[in-house]
Structure formats: structure tokens, C-alpha cells
Amino acid sequence: MAGEVTGQIGRGYLVLLGIANDDRQDDLIYLAQKVIGLRIFEDADGKMNLSLADVGGAMLVVSQFTLYGDCRKGRRPSFIEAARPEVAEPLYRSFVAEVRGQGITVETGRFQTEMQVSLVNDGPVTILVDSRKQF
């Protein structure tokens, strides 16, 4: 519905979750645990040393297949590496369930729906996490 807020958090992470063709359940569990454990909030000394749980933060998880847009050829991105919705949605829900199972408050967008997402980026800090690739 236009103008409807489907998920909203205060302090925490906005996770844009892209799921690839070859992602599996264990990839999503790894990613959930990795993201929860990242120490990227500042401590009293201004060092990135605190995790999401340390600061009582929440997570807003938004499905984002366009993260797999390959722009190396031509002028239009190819999304061939992005998982089809029937594969991606259960894995997306699995990620959300894993995060909730670790005691983190989670809000979500609506899967396979065009949304407007607003962000106030504190830092700014933007981290790319992938279960298999080194960057």
C-alpha cells in the first residue's frame, strides 16, 4: 500500500540482502552470525568496538536482488546471478529467522515489492559482507 510503513527501527543496521543463485541455508546462517557480531559501533573511546547486541540495536532487513546487477558488459545490468524469487524468498526468511533467533529485534520490508527506504547513516559506515568472496 502506498505510504505504508512496513518496517522501522532506531539505532541499528539497515541490511540490504541480496541472494545469489548458489546461496544455501548455511550461507545465510553464516551471514546472519557475521553481521550480528560485527563490532562497528563506537565505544566510549570512539573506536569501532561494539556489536549490535552491545548497543541494543535492531536490524531492518530489505531484500535487494539488484545487488547482483552485473554492469561489466553493455549499459544495462544483468541480474542473472540473482536468485529467482521462489529460491530467494525462503532464504531471505531464513536469514531473518536466524537473526531473531539470536535475540535481535528485526523489522523487514516486503519481499518482491517496490519500496522507498530512508536511511540516516551514522558515520557513514557501509560494510559489504559476502559468505564466500574476499574483497
CB neighbourhood size of 96 (10 A): 22
Long-range contacts of 78-81 (CB under 8 A, 24+ apart): 80/21, 81/20, 81/21
Catalytic residues: 64-66
Tell me the pairing of strands 58-63 and 41-42: unpaired
Peptide bond into 90 cis (omega under 30): no
13 touches 105 (CB < 8 A): no
